[in-house]
Amino acid sequence: MGAKSKWLAGDVPAARSILALAFQANPNSEEIWLAAVKLESENNEYERARRLLAKARSSAPTARVFMKSVKLEWVLGNIEAAQELCEEALKHYEDFPKLWMMKGQIEEQEEQTDKAREAYSQGLKKCPHSTPLWLLLSRLEEKIGQLTRARAILEKSRLKNPKNPGLWLESVRLEYRAGLKNIANTLMAKALQECPSSGVLWSEAIFLEARPQRKTKSVDALKKCEHDPHVLLAVAKLFWSERKITKAREWFHRTVKIDSDLGDAWALFYKFELQHGTEEQREEVRRRCENAEPRHGELWCAVSKDIANWQRKIGEILVLVAARIKNTF
């Protein structure tokens, strides 16, 4: 924390020296190694970051240290080095799903569909309970037009991971994207039977309804999970779609108060203020979002974890995510 406050104040050498003292006290601390790496890479000192990671791999070779090593080479465009490090990491940590995810995503980026499929499939043998791995594999099949295969993968994922809202949600959306709305609705009903208190499912269910029925559905959702940020966010969107500006703003405030880590809520709030707020209101949302440093959210992670955006600050990511949101609800 001391190093971070120096760095935020613009004093990189002081941050470095605090971390140097920390190393002496805790030579094998993964946290300190990764803080030092982050300091260097965010200040464009890539060689320094690389040397630190090489040292960390010999003195504190944890799964996260390997993951950061792969990521650094990947974002710098050294694909071969990233792939070699990934292979090495998987020899030690084959049950760490993020390594399999990265291996597959690098192959996808290189347009090696078969290799990407192989990476995800192998990963799922070792980590059958990793929701993101199942989603990556099914989306890969969907992307190349293999809808039946994508559907089968999701069915298998739900058998292996019962009561998993994320997998049910993807199954519903797969049918919706394919234009099969009746099947999507049937699946949603099953999903809510199996996961009756899932906020993400209820918030999606509200917008699967025709406009006149949405309000009733939102009342049901609030009864089931009144303090769930996804449901509060869906209600804010509902008021927004009905042009009830004051009420929508009130519900956005509630959502970010209950879960300031949900990036999607900040992005929707910001988009809302872009359309209906003043310059001051927009700036306030942006400032609060930067202070909250959100890490989660489906839309948020799609942008923040995109390799192309690896150096962007929270405020920039907020603007990018808001720009992706379409008012189709």
Question: In this predicted model, what pLDDT tens digit does every residue of 290-327 receive, in sequence order?
Answer: 999 999 999 999 999 999 999 899 999 999 999 999 87
Report yes or no on 280 lying in a domain.
Answer: yes
Whether the CB-CB separation of 266 and 289 falls below 8 Å is answered with yes
Does 310 lie in the same domain as 230?
A: yes
Domain boundary among 180, 211, 242: 211
Angle at 189 between CA 185 and CA 191, to 5 degrees: 110
Three-class SS of 272-283: HHHHHCCHHHHH
CATH at 270: 1.25.40
Q: How many CA atoms lie within 13 A of 52 on its CB side?
A: 27
Q: 316 and 237 in one domain? A: yes
Asked if residue 264 and residue 304 are part of one domain, the reply reads yes
The structural domain count of the chain equals 2
Q: Does 67 map to a domain?
A: no
> Taking the complete model, does pTM exceed 0.85, yes or no?
yes
CATH number for the domain spanning 176: value is 1.25.40.10
Question: Do residue 196 and residue 237 come from a single domain?
Answer: no
Which pair of structure tokens corresponds to residue 233? 């966010």
State residue 20's pLDDT score.
86
User: Is 203 part of a structural domain of the chain?
Assistant: yes
Contact 27, 59 (CB under 8 A): yes
Q: Which domain holds residue 161?
A: 128-211
Region label for 297, one of left (φ > 0), alpha (ψ between -120 and 50) or beta (otherwise): left
Give residues with Cβ within 8 angstroms of 270, minimum separation 6: 282, 285, 286, 289, 318, 319, 322
pLDDT digits (tens, 9 = 90+) for 115-174: 999 999 999 999 999 999 999 999 999 999 999 999 999 999 999 999 999 999 999 999
Distance, in Å, from the CA atom of 219 to the CA atom of 231, rounded to the nearest integer, reads 10
Distance from C-alpha of 318 to C-alpha of 262, rounded to nearest angstrom: 12
pLDDT over threshold 80, residue 329: no
Please identify, among 158, 176, 211, the residue that sits at the C-terminal boundary of a domain.
211
Q: Is residue 32 part of a domain?
A: no
pLDDT at 281 (0 to 100)? 97
What residues form DSSP beta bridges with 296?
Answer: 262
Is 105 part of any domain?
A: no
